[in-house]
Amino acid sequence: MKASRPAAANATRALLKTLGIPFVETYQGAGVLSRELESQYVGRIGLFRNQPGDLLIEHADVLLTIGFDPIEYDPKHWNLQPQQRQIIHVDDMQADIDHFYEPALELIGNISETVKHLAHDSVPLSLSKENIELVTELQELLSDIEKTPERESHRSHPLDVIHTLRRLIPDDTKVTCDIGSHAIWMSRHFRVYEPNSFLVSNGMQTLGVALPWAIAASIMNPDEKIISVSGDGGFLFSAMELETAVRKKTNLVHLVWNDSTYDMVAFQQEMKYDRTSCVEFGQIDLVKYAESFGATGLRVNSPEELSTVLQKGINIEGPVIIDIPIDYQDNPDLASQKWPEVFRKKHAMNVR
């Protein structure tokens, strides 16, 4: 989490480059990754313990955590067998110790300065052939997971939206992210290459934060284009602030992933009860809603229009709302343990 602050991120990058070891980010640790470090990256972790990065941690014998805060991803979810690995805790606060997080060593102080000293005194580490093959396999899994499925749909797939957005905006563009199913997709798969350029709610809480954050970011950075992302449900939690965005002449584009459902609630209801209840709401004309406030409203009418409409919105001065009908067919897989269990069995990793 704190590793994504600019000074700490730069120091962590230098340490990773020196050591040459694989690494993961938490959702709020996004921005430690640089394009130069892609070959060591095994993705982001959080929430359901079913990502390649989670499997990397399960295989590790030593973990170096930098600026880790358990509010993001409770160790009881990712460190189920703490006796199998040692943790080195680097932070400006003492570790919040429990059965699943008991560091063998704590380095407490200014994070960036501590990491700089580690980098200065470190030497490259050589992974065994077996571990190199395992990391490569996990990176290939990550690459496969991030491929947009090929199927007929009149709605845009989340991965298509994510990859298109990443391609269209510079690395230093600030992106704010609301809470909902889209936040899991964005937090896992939206690559972030600059510190403090991806803002997501701590501990996966508080719907409606993305638009106000984007307004504040635009006021503080009036010469920059700000991007914010929400679901349709989350958007309606604070949509009235569009008046503020217009009045303050903010320069932002807000993407609404639209499925007329509180989907993060819906797919977890399906997981637990095999049904949904009280999660659907009627269609809202988001284009007219935006226009009624004096903002620009755009809609992606088919996946083929996605890139064109996003680019059009980015080129427009002032607040822009883009309605993106979203294909959430794959959302139940966000919490699935099927392929992680296959991987664990293949590598004889007995984790419960």
Q: What is the structure's pLDDT at 307?
A: 98
pLDDT confidence of residue 161: 98
CATH homologous superfamily of 2-145+340-346 = TPP-binding domain (3.40.50.1220)
Q: Which two tokens stand for residue 81?
A: 């067998």
pLDDT at 266: 87
Closest CA to 75 of 5, 138, 26: 26
pLDDT, residue 212, reads 98
In the chain, what are the domain boundaries?
A: 2-145+340-346, 158-329
SS3 readout for the chain:
CHHHCHHHHHHHHHHHHHHCCCEEEEHHHCCCCCHHHHHHEEEEECCCCCCHHHHHHHHCCEEEEECCCCCCCCHHHHCCCHHHCEEEEEECCCCCCECCECCCEEEECCHHHHHHHHHHHCCCCCCCHHHHHHHHHHHHHHHHHCCCCCCCCCCECHHHHHHHHHHHCCCCCCEEECCCHHHHHHHHHCCCCCCCCEEECCCCCCCCCHHHHHHHHHHHCCCCCEEEEEEHHHHHHHHHHHHHHHHCCCCEEEEEEECCECHHHHHHHHHHHCCCCCCECCCCCHHHHHHHCCCEEEECCCHHHHHHHHHHHHHCCCCEEEEEEECCCCHHHHHCCHHHHHHHHHCCCCCC
pLDDT recorded at residue 264: 83
pLDDT of residue 281: 86
Identify the pLDDT of residue 255.
99
At the topology level of CATH, where does 158-329 sit?
Rossmann fold (3.40.50)
Rounded CA gap, 331 and 182, in Å? 9
Q: What was the pLDDT predicted at 352? A: 52
Neighbours of 177 (CB within 10 A): 27
User: What's the predicted TM-score (pTM) here?
Assistant: 0.94
List average pLDDT for each run of 10 residues in the chain, which is 352 residues long: 91 97 96 97 94 96 96 93 96 95 98 97 94 96 94 95 98 96 96 96 82 98 98 96 98 97 86 90 93 98 98 98 97 88 82 54
Q: What is the pLDDT of residue 47?
A: 86
The pLDDT assigned to 346 comes to 87
